[in-house]
Structure 1
């Protein structure tokens, strides 16, 4: 009896020895008529975020969603209270808001600008009146108290991540859909304090914590002075977060996750600067995350030879990817357990469709797991939207013909489906982001095209750059990382803004490249720089720093500071993505993306893969599929050139 009792006690003590993961996803897009708030596409973010979390081990039963009318102020309070009661010390909680945001008059005198930031629940009004004085707004003061209570409950072994895909700026938007965009909710005759501004999101309130409170990170889609835009009918931050979560490296921190998010948003919403605050150097989910999903579940079985997967283009399940179907209880890929194979024939954001070689024995989706055999990296393709300023229909037809002939995409009539916007200013056709309608080319002197031929060339440049920027090869056998460091290493922190983005000026800053090999193989590396408009330039090696293959060999488990290459910078002033490639074979992307490509054959399979992207501009469509010969790793570093 004593032995049985002891066993029971040990079992109960160890029952919660692992962390549970919880999430609250709040999406408000269809505000009541008469509230003063316009409709936004927040509900589209729910599946995007839920899928991303479930692929990271969050059980669907631990994910709570509040959609539209469920997300009143009272509904938010009740949901947060319920989750707090369920959680135990050491658990992980993610809270995601997709909604409007608004500044509101400060009601307790704690804000230098006399304005609180707030999230706008379903039952909040946009304007001050005798009946509505802001009582249903979810102020930053209240959010601060909620965060404190949650952190105290989770304890030092737990973690709390807040994601805010909303904004609080009162500026007007032009054409694109913004979350927020209303002026501050203030009483009559209220006066703002002059020249008072805030850094960051201005959403984190300082409230007393227990000494053993959980680490906390908040990621916001925009700073306190910016609008937060949508991209292809989804929140730009939600989209970037889901993509970043699909392929993670070893010992990944929240800072590294944010850098991937910032890299993605630099492309889809160039005017929007995401913000990260809190304990940013902690490991993501306490290190309990999936670097790359080894297998995927089925969403449904349409018929015995047609299936729908719970993953899509966000997880890089592109058209042409070869899959293998195994029993759900298979612990790893085993060719002897393969039931059937097939190919993905259509891919959306969060789901993909595959045709199988033979019938499945049952039609119960839970009976199967899908493993990736040959990964397809898709084709270079963009969806182009013409603004009303473009009156020349013949030019539109020439662009449409060019895209079709070269298999580079299509012209769309809905801006929410577009990857880029073409508009006309004076005699020039310019490319803009569909999210915030900012110019993709930051250089005013070179951004315009006068002819259809030049416009098509610029569309291809953008499409190719965007494709390579998004390219993810995450074979951990070849994992590496790199960063820029200032000439005086002690000054490194002075180059980092509050979000950890590395900044350089055009006057006296000098930096070097520092490369780290995290693998157990000696690796060769090469680095490209990709601008917002898609322009690609060699970064290492380059014409002024022609390092040989052997000089770019990094021994296993070591770092190397490349002191022989000294970098200084000029305009344009923008955020730029450095894209690094590593392989166990010598690799050099410089001749692949310059004029040298016409006289030199690619010797590394990864070089050959990238070289194919240039061929597509000449009508040579190719199925960029990894058949096992492309062995390498890609990673990014984002930096910003500033004018000072």
Structure 2
């Protein structure tokens, strides 16, 4: 076999691997090294986009099995494109085939091809995820049946609400507060209330609104994808009277399960660029009761004398290898108690999600370059649930667009 054009060591290994599969299927060659790929004999560094391999023995002309599942962030409805093994970057290249994930398990997924192809799985292609889907799954609700007729009332309340499914193993537990007119939703695994609103089982409107908030909360919590070279470390820290990081107090709040902040604490954001390029950072706070608040940028911020001291999108740039400590942004820890999440958004282009979250701005009002913000804006728009208990569209993220999303979690407990 001959090599066409510049070839990397990883590409050469992929070619060798394919030949060995044909000649000796039980042999499984291994490429040793630190994961860095370079041009063959040239020494130039080659950036490899994330890809997954296929499982030929479980594939056919209509569906391809790949070695990636929900643990890798793959979800049902995501679009997968197949390219020749050894492809370093699919951008601008025509795929051999495309398909959509119809089943996503922990460590593998089934991709239904757009068109049947008798030869694809025999070529041992690489699979690149080109569009992530964040569709809505039903909320499993368990009902306290200690009061006669409760389950029947709940079924009636949600008969046209597609989001809810009654189950003995629920995500949420609908519990009585000791009165027929006082009920509350709780996390089934911990018994902690989701919010503090109580309601009557006849108030289907309020129950639906709370469940819509829970679903959006879950949806946004699960958002995660990574642009190569775009990464950060985001920390909540204490400051002493001199404005320096108080490591001792931070250590006292750090438990085996993670950071545990008390009501009344005041903390600050420290952001470190751990990637290969400059980024703009946005942070959204997701409370234990599902309420969503923009944290960064923060154009409404005032100083201790109540004078405007806004942090704008342009102030949220962090250069490569740099770090910033936002001493002007005091984060006061207050109820509700429970697990809180900071959702972190990194972008190579200037990004401002604050207006979208506070005003539900549409795409035409969104600001940003390269489609990055519009892509993020669509995520938040799609996360909203209508009165039928469904989303207007199946939320998708184009993985070719810039951006990294991850979470920072901590607990809020009483003092």
Residue 412 of structure 1 deviates from its aligned partner by 4.2
Counterparts of 1:607 and 1:378 in 2: how far apart (Å)?
A: 13
> 1:383 and 1:573, CA in 2 relative to 1: closer, same or farther beyond 3 A?
closer
Aligned to 2:143: 387
Q: Indicate whether 1:518 and 2:270 are aligned.
A: no
List per-residue Cα deviations over 1:34-85 (Å, max 9, x = no partner). xxxxxxxxxxxxxxxxxxxxxxxxxxx9xxxxxxxxxxxxxxxxxxxxxxxx
Aligned to 2:173: 421
> 1:578 and 1:397, CA in 2 relative to 1: closer, same or farther beyond 3 A?
same
Residue 527 of structure 1 deviates from its aligned partner by 0.9
8 A contact 2:56–2:124 mirrored in 1: no
Aligned to 2:185: 431
Residue 461 of structure 1 deviates from its aligned partner by 0.9
Aligned to 1:616: 385
Counterparts of 1:400 and 1:524 in 2: how far apart (Å)?
A: 45
Counterparts of 1:562 and 1:297 in 2: how far apart (Å)?
A: 45
8 A contact 1:300–1:307 mirrored in 2: no
List per-residue Cα deviations over 1:202-254 (Å, max 9, x = no partner). xxxxxxxxxxxxxxxxxxxxxxxxxxxxxxxxxxxxxxxxxxxxxxxxxxxxx
Aligned to 2:250: 495
Aligned to 2:321: 557
Aligned to 2:114: 357
> 1:330 and 1:551, CA in 2 relative to 1: closer, same or farther beyond 3 A?
closer
Aligned to 1:377: 133
Counterparts of 2:208 and 2:50 in 1: how far apart (Å)?
A: 37
Residue 514 of structure 1 deviates from its aligned partner by 1.0
Aligned to 2:288: 532
Residue 637 of structure 1 deviates from its aligned partner by 2.0
> 1:506 and 1:435, CA in 2 relative to 1: closer, same or farther beyond 3 A?
closer
- Name which structure has the greater RCO, CA cutoff 8 Å, separation 6+: 2
Residue 490 of structure 1 deviates from its aligned partner by 4.6
Residue 632 of structure 1 deviates from its aligned partner by 0.8
Spell out the pairing of 1:19-418 with structure 2 (5 A cutoff). 294-298=51-55, 300-301=57-58, 303-326=60-83, 329-330=85-86, 332=88, 338-361=95-118, 368-389=124-145, 391-402=150-161, 404=162, 409-415=163-169, 418=170
8 A contact 1:549–1:587 mirrored in 2: yes
Deviates more, 1:372-381 or 1:452-461: 372-381
8 A contact 2:363–2:378 mirrored in 1: no
Counterparts of 1:485 and 1:562 in 2: how far apart (Å)?
A: 10
Aligned to 2:329, what secondary structure does the other structure show? strand
> 1:500 and 1:314, CA in 2 relative to 1: closer, same or farther beyond 3 A?
closer
Counterparts of 2:256 and 2:318 in 1: how far apart (Å)?
A: 29
8 A contact 1:318–1:344 mirrored in 2: yes
Counterparts of 1:600 and 1:337 in 2: how far apart (Å)?
A: 31
Aligned to 1:529, what secondary structure does the other structure show? strand
Spell out the pairing of 1:589-608 with structure 2 (5 A cutoff). 589-595=353-359, 597=361, 601-603=365-367, 604-608=373-377
Counterparts of 2:89 and 2:122 in 1: how far apart (Å)?
A: 17
Unaligned runs of 5+ in 1: 1-60, 62-290
Counterparts of 1:474 and 1:303 in 2: how far apart (Å)?
A: 30
Counterparts of 1:638 and 1:525 in 2: how far apart (Å)?
A: 17
Deviates more, 1:313-322 or 1:330-339: 330-339
Aligned to 1:68: none
Unaligned runs of 5+ in 2: 1-27, 29-47, 303-309, 368-372
Residue 629 of structure 1 deviates from its aligned partner by 6.0
Residue 464 of structure 1 deviates from its aligned partner by 0.8
| TM-score, reference length from structure 2 | 0.71
C-alpha RMSD of the superposition: 3.2
Q: Indicate whether 1:482 and 2:234 are aligned.
A: yes
